[in-house]
Structure 1
Amino acid sequence: MYLYLWAMFIIIAVLIGFIIFAYAVTDKGSGRPVLNRAYPDYYLEDYSGWLKDRVASDGYWGKIRSCIHDSKSCAKTGRVVGGYPETADMYYLRKLNPIQSGCCKPPTECGYIYVNETVWNPVNAATFPSNLDCNRWSNDQEQLCYNCDSCKAGVLGSLKKSWRKVSVINIVVLIILVIAYVIACGAFKNNKRMDNHEPYGATRMEKARPTRIHF
C-alpha cells in the first residue's frame, strides 16, 4: 500500500506538470478573423515561446513540412458540388482547419484570385503587402504555402487545439486519480491505526479462543 501510494503520487504530479506545461506553451496565438470569410488567417508573429521556436526552427520544420505534404491535407480540401468544383463564394464560407488555412492557400491579404482550393492566380507583385508569404505561395502542388510562415502558424494553431483537448481529458483523469488517492490514503491510515491498537495475530487468536464459564 505504501509503494502504491507513492506511485500514485508520482503519476499525479507528472500529470499536473504536463497540464501546466501544455497550457503554458499554448497560451498565446490564434487565428485572425478575415472579412467575408468563415475561416481565419494565421500569422507566425501572433505566437511566441518555446513551442513556436521549436516548430519554426529549420531542423524541425523540414520534418513537419514533409508530414503535412505526405498527409495530403491540402489535396483533401477539394470539393465537388453538383458535379462541378465549388465556387469561390462556397469556399469562402468553409471552416478550414488551421493547417488548411495556413498551408493550402495564400494569405487573404495578398489578394490572390481563387481558381480552386489549391490554385490561386497571383496579382501584380508590386501590389503585395509587406507579408513575405505573398511571394512564397506557389501553385505547384508540391510547394503551395508549405514554406510560408502562415503554414508554421497553422501548425501551431492545430497543436494548440489538440493539446487543449488532451489537457481536458487529462484534467478528468487527474480528478479521478486524486479521488482514488484520497480514498487509498484513508484506507492506509485506517489500517495503520488498527495495526497500532489491535495486533492482527493477537486479535485472531483472541477471537478463536473459547469463552470459559465459571460457576
Structure 2
Amino acid sequence: MRTSNHLIGVLNFLTFLLSIPILGGGIWLSSRANNTDCLKFLQWPLIIIGVSIMVVSLAGFAGACYRNTFLMRLYLVVMFLVIAVLIGFIIFAYVVTDKGPGRRVLNRGYMDYYLQDYSGWLEERVASHSYWGKIASCVRDSKVCAKMGRVDSNGIPEPADVFYLRKLTSVQSGCCKPPTDCGYIYQNETVWNLGSGLMSANPDCSKWSNDQGFLCYRCDSCKAGVLASLKKSWRKVSVINIVVMIILVIVYIIAYAAYRNNKRMDNDEPYGEARMTKSHPSHFQL
C-alpha cells in the first residue's frame, strides 16, 4: 500500500510539473498578444487548462499522501476530462491555423501575405469589423512598425536594396509597408511614394497611407499578417502541448493502475486475483 501511494504521489507531482509548460505557453501567448498578435482571447484556454492540471495534481498528491479515496477518485475523473479537453484544444489549434503560408516575392527577403489564402473560423473572426478595429489599434499601439526604422551614423535611412533583403515578421510585412505588387517606391521603412502609378488591382494599394497612424492597418494584408503570426505562435505552443499530453496520458494510465492496486489491497485481495477467484476458489489454479 505504501509503495502504491508513493507512486501515485510521485506521479501527481510530475503532472504538477507538467502543468507549468502549459501555463507558461498561455502566458507566452498572452505576451505575444500584447506585442504583435493582438488576439488576447486565444491564450485563456491554455491558461485555464494549465491551472486545472496544477490544482487537480495537488488534489491527487494530497489524496495519495493521506489515503483519501474521494480525492483520488476526483483526481482520476477530473484529470481524464482535462486530458480530453487538451486533446480537443490541440486539434482545434491545428484546424484553425491550418492554412495561409506567406507568398515569397522575387528578390525580397520577406514574404507578402494575402487574406484570401486563409479561411475558416479564425480568419472570419479576425477579418470581422467588430474585432479588427480592436486588433488594428493593438498593432498600432505595439509600435511594431516604428521599431522597424534603421539609420546609419548620419541619420540616413537604410537604402532600398538593403531593406528588400530584410527578414520581416508577418505583421511588419503586412501592416507596415504596402504590398509589393502595388509598385510603391521605397523612401524608408514606413514611407513609400506612389511613383508613376499603381501596378496592381490589389485593393490594398489604395488603402496604404504614409500617415504613421494609418499605414496599412486597414489592409487585408495586415489581417493576413496577424493570422500568419498567430499560426506561427500557436504551432510552437502546440508542439509543447502534444508532448505534455502524451506524458499526461502515460502518467494517468500508471496512476489508474496504482489506484486499482490500492483498492485490491484495501479489499485484502492478493495482487492479480479478482474477488470472484477469492469467493469461488478453483481446485485447478496454477
TM-score of the superposed pair, with normalisation by structure 1: 0.88
1:175-194 → structure 2 map (5 Å cutoff): 175-194=246-265
* 8 Å CA contact 1:38, 1:93 repeated in 2: yes
The yes-or-no answer on 1:94 pairing with 2:133 is no
Deviates more, 1:68-77 or 1:180-189: 180-189
Provide the rounded CA distance (Å) in 1 between the counterparts of 2:195 and 2:178: 12
TM-score of the superposed pair, with normalisation by structure 2: 0.67
Provide the rounded CA distance (Å) in 1 between the counterparts of 2:116 and 2:219: 12
Among 107, 115, 119, the alignment partner of 1:44 is 115
Partner of 1:203: none
User: How far did 1:107 drift?
Assistant: 0.3
Among 139, 144, 153, the alignment partner of 2:210 is 139
The yes-or-no answer on 1:74 pairing with 2:145 is yes
Aligned length: 198
* 8 Å CA contact 2:96, 2:121 repeated in 1: yes
User: How far did 1:151 drift?
Assistant: 0.3
Provide the alpha-carbon RMSD of the alignment.
1.4
Partner of 1:196: 267
Partner of 2:157: 85
1:94-133 → structure 2 map (5 Å cutoff): 94-125=166-197, 127-133=198-204
Aligned residue identity for 1:57:
S
SS at match of 1:123: coil
User: How far did 1:86 drift?
Assistant: 1.2
The percentage of aligned residue pairs carrying the same residue is: 72
* 8 Å CA contact 2:186, 2:193 repeated in 1: yes
* 8 Å CA contact 1:128, 1:134 repeated in 2: no
* 8 Å CA contact 2:114, 2:221 repeated in 1: yes
* 8 Å CA contact 2:183, 2:200 repeated in 1: no
In structure 2, stretches of 5+ residues that fail to align are 1-71, 271-286
The yes-or-no answer on 1:55 pairing with 2:120 is no
Asked which structure has the greater CA Rg, the reply is 1
Instruction: State the Cα deviation string for residues 78-135 of structure 1 (Å, max 9, x = none).
Output: 112444321111111111000000000000011111100000111344x431100111
SS at match of 2:80: helix
In structure 1, stretches of 5+ residues that fail to align are 200-215
User: How far did 1:30 drift?
Assistant: 1.1
* 8 Å CA contact 2:115, 2:223 repeated in 1: yes
Aligned residue identity for 1:53:
E
Partner of 2:56: none
Aligned residue identity for 1:140:
D
